[in-house]
C-alpha cells in the first residue's frame, strides 16, 4: 500500500503565484530575472519584486508574484530561467 500524496492542484488563473529565483549575485542578476519573467508575465508589478543577498553576498534570491495563466506559462518561464545558466534554483 502506497501513501503517496498528490501535490495540490493550482487553479488557473492564479493572481498571486509566488516565485523565488536563486542565482549568483553578479551581472545584474535581479534585472535579468525581472526581464525574463516579464516575457512570460508582462503584467508583472515590479514594485512588488524583492531581492536579498546571501550572508556572504555570493548569491541573490529574487522573490516575486505573477498572474499565472497555466502550466504551459510556468513551464516555459522556469525553462527560460534555468537555460540561462545563471539560475541555481526556481521555487
Q: What is the DSSP string of 40-73?
A: H-TT--GGG-EEEE-TTSSEEEEEEEEEE--HHH
Do 36 and 84 touch, CB atoms closer than 8 A?
yes
**Residue 10's pLDDT is what?**
85
Inform me whether the pLDDT recorded for 23 exceeds 60.
Answer: yes
C-alpha cell at 77: 518561464
**Residue 8's pLDDT is what?**
66
Q: Report all structural domains of the chain as residue ranges with CATH numbers, in order of start.
A: 14-90 (3.30.70.260)
Residue located via cell numbers 505573477: 66
pTM (two decimals)? 0.88
C-alpha cell at 86: 545563471
Amino acid at each position: 500500500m502506497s501513501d503517496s500524496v498528490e501535490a495540490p492542484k493550482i487553479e488557473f488563473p492564479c493572481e498571486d503565484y509566488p516565485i523565488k529565483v536563486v542565482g549568483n549575485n553578479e551581472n545584474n542578476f535581479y534585472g535579468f530575472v525581472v526581464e525574463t519573467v516579464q516575457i512570460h508575465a508582462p503584467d508583472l508589478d515590479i514594485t512588488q519584486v524583492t531581492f536579498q543577498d546571501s550572508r556572504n553576498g555570493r548569491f541573490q534570491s529574487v522573490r516575486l508574484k505573477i498572474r499565472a495563466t497555466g502550466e504551459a506559462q510556468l513551464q516555459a518561464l522556469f525553462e527560460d530561467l534555468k537555460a540561462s545558466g545563471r539560475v541555481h534554483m526556481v521555487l
